[in-house]
Structure 1
Amino acid sequence: MHSTPNTFGGRLFAPGLDGVGMPATGQWRQGRLVVWVQDGAAEREWLAPEHPTLSAGGFNAAQLSVGWPVDGGQLQFFVDAGAARTAFAAGMPASLAQPHGVAQRAARGVERRFKFWWAALAAVALLPVLAVALLVLRGGDVVNWAVQQIPHAQEAKLGDLVLAQTRAQMRVIDSGPAVDAVKHIGERLTPGTLHRYRWLVVDNQEMNAFAAPGGVVVVYSGLLKSTDTPEEAAGVIAHEVAHAELRHGLQGLVKSLGLRAGAAVLLGDWSGAVLSEATTSLLEMQFSREAETQADAEGLRRLVAAKINPEGMARFMDKLAAKSQGATPPALLSTHPASAERATQLRALAGQHPGPWEPLALDWATVKASLP
């Protein structure tokens, strides 16, 4: 084991580690950060570059997030608040003073929101009967109100955590025709968005795709292979974009984990139990029939606005409806239930828009051939 003077604790997220992170220890050595974890009987160690990325994180932004790229993805070390943060700053080289100062200012901004949010929660706590009545009678309105209080910048950080977990658990295809195609389609569907979209293709033969809060859209290679045209893929991407734009992931998170999940996102509590429950919940999110109907309609609207033939969306839904009758339905159906009725509704909506359309300038045979 390493010696302990001038060390500081935290939680580490890295490719190959548990998706919810592992307790870790950091130490400055000759101006470079070294982080290690005890993984069973073995000890694993990482050496940071001279200029890692620093940002505020954790409860009330009192934690410090230190990140840098490693083989297989991104490493993120959350330095604990209090004495650990003090020890980190004491040994930190002067070259990191500026980004560390930016993180401190961000922490002060989150602290102000923290005080406001908890004052609001305290007020609600004084009226438990009213709160219960509101949740029972107007539960949807309460959830929507809570989601509206969360800035898009905080929502993006939640998406970053899902992105880090995806990179740790799956092999991400970082470049090539398929990645370029998904990004090209996605950008046509999201003009003027408030999100900073991240478009991912993962090497997984399941017929699946999902969207995380803050503009993370993940498309499985198996889904792309199952499409016959880029317009069919665009239909799936448009549906996932609609979930992101309508903030269905955040709504589902608050509904499943309660208002404390909304408070955690608003305040930047990206560690501990909330992190574990939130990321797991988002990766396994099952949307309601109402949310799916909304995403279908909004996705189709975006296809029409982008002059992409929405018939592709209806055709892909036909495929899902047909495959749902099989012994092993596609993985996409575990979170996006399909039905022949839904496919019929989409085709009727698509039929209301005669075009003209602008074909997607993509060599789809090349895109599919490029996939593992």
Structure 2
Amino acid sequence: MPSIPQPTTAHRAAYAAELARGTARFHEPRRADCPWCGSKRLRTRLRTPDLRQRKPGTFVVDECGDCAHAFQNPRLTPEGLAFYHRDPCEGAHDDLAERLLGGHGGAGRHRAAARAVLPYAEPESWLDIGTGHGHFPAAAKEVHPYTSFDGLDATRRVERARAAGRVEEAHVGRLTDPVIGERLRARYDVVSMFHHLEHTPEPREELRAALEVLRPGGHLLAEVPDPDCAFGALLGKWWPAYGQPRHLHLMPLPNLLGELESLGCAVVATDRREPHVPHDLSGALALALGRALPGPDAPWRPAPPTPLQRTARLALGRAAAPLLASTVALDRLLAPLLRRTRFSNAYRIVARKET
């Protein structure tokens, strides 16, 4: 198990001062209607703590009885989003677990996603939204060698992606920022969003902004978790796709299809098989182990763990590693079967912006 950077006294004191003010300010008022269709027929689908980083707070996912849209309610404020996205590596309980929970596939999966637009377009320019370190553009260049790939991300990671040669232009910020939207208007043949929409406060605004930077006849490629996946009911709060508190929306496929069509797009392809990410069982186990093991020395803890707690965490983590690795293998073994059933956990849409 890799060592976790030790928080400084100032770092811990800053968190203590922030948490002394309580966490209520991190939440908007609870809403009584669905943000997608406006229905008031809501039911609570999930209550959970922060299983990933173990920061304070309890989070609720409600589901609409009419359109089945699932959403965090009450939703985090911008201040809350900043708090729960901060210092992500401090809460890592195991390197393998962090890889399971922090990524959505390697180069092979990225190349497969890039091939999804081959029947419909030969793009000259491509913008990857939420690109992070630019791993998707780097793999997609093998499929589209004559395409210019740019990246947009809310963090400075995209600038490191440019320095590494994975993207040609790096844009820091959000696509819904009017300045960025105007600068990139109608520049791209393809815009991609991989497991990005569920993190956005207003997915509809994000879709509209994505269409604004597409040229007429350009294509939008999106992959998102599927809230209809049977693992959601089977695993409950341990299902990785719930991703609380960082996932704000889980959108059923019919809802996104209807929204894109209302925006003047032609949906040319949908896929519930290939986008499946084989990490449901292993991700759930990783979350459960992270909850059961003594906590790491995270700066939001009031005091560092004792030497006994550190030793116990290290020993138990090593003992659990073979079980976690076996569950990873099981996920991969079952994937060809599960992706053909209701246990497939993600879907893909390719839509064309009509001229």
The higher-RCO structure (CA 8 Å, 6+ apart) is 2
| TM-score of the pair, normalised by structure 2 | 0.30
| TM-score of the pair, normalised by structure 1 | 0.29
In our comparison, the structure showing a higher alpha carbon Rg is: 1
Decide which structure has greater helix share: 1
